[in-house]
Structure 1
């Protein structure tokens, strides 16, 4: 393996950081003992910028290329998500019923009328409550997994290596 650039990130298929590398797990390092690496990373990934700085944290994350919308070091997204009403497609739970007496023991096609065009609006009076089994609240607002398919590998950053030139 050739000597890496200082700050280079590589993936390893084993569970530890090789000599000269550190796990990309957000750990805090001292600036005074890692000045060259600090000169590349600064406080992009954390730290106070006076005595400490942080390494990138790839735990539970995937990487994307930087852009004006996704600046270097920005972290976003969530592993689990709970849908809100604004995220659901528009739909209704309108119920149509007939004010006429039922004319079949078991309505065709499991509807509340035995033939078409038998639904009429209620003109006056108070509505009768439906059987609670007919319409009820469903769901329980639990978050669902929001993760794309993945394979866990060990992201490590070179803490020793060739200082990368800009050109």
Structure 2
């Protein structure tokens, strides 16, 4: 693009910011050097507004429109929200049970009290490990399977493609309609 607007943000698929563009990495820039850009961005993305101001930061963030859609929370310019990981606690997990049936195995050669080292459920072509069409012998109690999130965080991100967001440091000052 030959004549970008000042403050315009573009995606680039290469490893450098073009001349008169800067990475959108949240860095602070001197207000005295970029007064026109400061008049557009203010301190929405950081800085003290006296000697510096921040550029937008797209590191680990996705873009989101400003405003409020029907039934959605309002989003203001420069606001960050969301998280890269979430730790569930037991009160956030829905209450439910799992019925686990077990069947009596009448062939003693196929019985085990518990799995031994290296054992797995397999069925050779000429043998069945379970009794064919056997009635259910019982159900494990609901306490056999419990809610235990383990306080371990899990990733909570949409899929991403890493590219460079850059902001124009020079260009035509955008006019208001």
- TM (norm. structure 1) is 0.73
Aligned residue number for residue 52 of structure 1: 52
Q: CA deviation at 1:91?
A: 2.6
RMSD of the alignment, in Å? 2.8
| Residue deviations 1:82-110 (CA, integer Å, cap 9, x gap) | 112343223358xxxxxxxxxx898x636
Cα pair distance change 1:11/1:91, threshold 3 Å: same
* Local SS of the residue matching 1:37: helix
Q: Shift in Å at residue 138 of structure 1? A: 4.6
Aligned match for 2:154, one of 139, 144, 151: 144
Q: Residues 7 and 169 of structure 2 are in contact (CA less than 8 Å); yes or no, is this contact kept in structure 1?
A: yes
Query: Which residue in the other structure is 2:19 paired with?
Result: 19
Give the whole-Å Cα distance in 2 for the aligned partners of 1:75 and 1:163.
Answer: 26
> How many residues in Structure 1 have an aligned counterpart in Structure 2?
140
Structure 2 runs not aligned, ≥5 long: 69-73, 99-103, 107-134
Which of 64, 70, 73 is the matching residue for 2:75? 70
- Extract unaligned runs of 5+ from structure 1: 94-103, 114-129
Contact residue 9 and residue 165 of structure 2 kept, 8 A: yes
For residues 168 and 153 of structure 2, the distance between their equivalents in structure 1, rounded to whole angstroms, comes to 37
Q: C-alpha offsets along residues 16-41 of structure 1, whole Å, 9 cap, x if unaligned?
A: 11111000000001111110000000
Structure 1 consecutive aligned stretches of length 4 or more whose deviation exceeds 6 Å: none
How far apart, in 2, do the equivalents of 1:83 and 1:40 lie? 40
CA distance in 1, matches of 2:55, 2:32: 15
Alignment match, 2:122: none
2-structure distance, mates of 1:3, 1:24: 19
Give the deviation of 1:139 after TM superposition: 4.5
Please report the TM-score for the alignment, with normalisation by the length of structure 2. Answer: 0.69
SS at match of 1:67: coil
- Structure 2 vs 1, CA of residues 144 and 110 (structure 1 numbering), >3 Å: closer, same or farther? farther
What are the equivalent positions in structure 2 for 1:1-167 lying under 5 Å apart? 1-68=1-68, 69-91=74-96, 109=136, 111=138, 134=144, 138-167=148-177
CA drift of 1:44 comes to 0.4
